[in-house]
Amino acid sequence: ETGVTQTPRHLVMGMTNKKSLKCEQHLGHNAMYWYKQSAKKPLELMFVYNFKEQTENNSVPSRFSPECPNSSHLFLHLHTLQPEDSALYLCASSQLTGGQTDTQYFGPGTRLTVL
Amino acid sequence: AQTVTQSQPEMSVQEAETVTLSCTYDTSESDYYLFWYKQPPSRQMILVIRQEAYKQQNATENRFSVNFQKAAKSFSLKISDSQLGDAAMYFCAYRDNYGGSQGNLIFGKGTKLSVKP
């Protein structure tokens, strides 16, 4: 256990559904991240939040909508996804101090399948 | 842009033996961090070891050690006395040490390590 939890662990959804992924960190960190992990590809950074403010959006399609209500919680809202969006979605957190971020700790991921 | 390359998609080692996983990276920065993460099947990605670029001494964590060659931009991971629980995907990752990119990690594609009993 790394102190970062994600729910659900598995999700199957149709292309017209709306669902949300949840991440919670119990480490007191102030930065949170969403990554996409697809087979045979490097982890892709999607979004970064520092102190609840979004600081990075790596050209992610608008069908992915992040939300960070506080430093401990991060959501990824999904709507009208495509089959190619099927992947493992990983959440991570780290501590931002003086403009520098420390080691990132990862959650177990949500295995998403889009039919 | 920085890149991380892991040239070994799969590796295999006999239990109790030693194995080395390769990683090279490309950057024009002089101050950065390097990481090895381990992702067991269906389990969480966890940090194995990290190295600050300004430190010449290679990092070690119990049976895990790195060979950091800054000039060659090489960062290999050595696992000694391999155990069955070491079987996993291993990812090499790079991070700039300045605030502009918020310290975003750049990952390699990973090396799948199998451990034979």
**pLDDT tens digit sequence for B60-74:** 999 999 999 999 999
pLDDT at A15 over 90: no
CA A2 to chain centre: 15
- CA A101 to chain B, closest CA, distance in angstroms equals 6
pLDDT the model gives residue B42: 79
Rounded Cα distance, A85 and A113, in Å: 8
Cβ neighbours of B47 in A, within 8 Å: 103, 105
pLDDT at A97 over 80: no
Sheet containing strand A18-25, edge to edge, reads: A4-7, A18-25, A73-79, A64-70
CA distances from A38 to A3, A12, A113, B99, B102 (A): 23, 16, 11, 28, 23
For the residues B86-109, what does the mean pLDDT come to?
82
Q: Could you say which of A45, A99, A105 has the minimum Cβ distance to residue B104?
A: A45
User: Residue A101: pLDDT band by 50, 70, 90 thresholds?
Assistant: low
For chains A and B, count residue pairs whose Cβ atoms are closer than 8 Å.
Answer: 51
A100 in contact with B, Cβ within 8 Å: yes
Token pair for residue A62?
């608008």
Q: Which amino acid is at B25?
A: Y
Token pair for residue A113?
């399948």
Q: Could you say which of A41, A43, A48 has the minimum Cβ distance to residue B102?
A: A48
What is chain A's alpha carbon radius of gyration, rounded to the nearest angstrom? 13
> What pLDDT, in 10s, does the model give residues B2-61?
899 999 999 999 999 999 999 999 998 888 899 999 999 878 899 999 998 888 899 999
A45 in contact with B, Cβ within 8 Å: yes
Cβ neighbours of B37 in A, within 8 Å: 106
Token pair for residue A115?
């039919």
CB A93 within 8 A of CB A38: no
User: Best of B102, B106, B107 to disrupt the A interface by mutation (most A CBs within 10 Å)?
Assistant: B102
Closest CA to A21 of A32, A10, A37: A10
B5 in contact with A, Cβ within 8 Å: no
User: Residue A50: pLDDT band by 50, 70, 90 thresholds?
Assistant: confident
Q: Please, where are the H alpha helices in chain A? A: none
Token pair for residue A58?
């790596």
Q: Tell me which of A10-24, A64-78, A96-110 is least confident.
A: A96-110
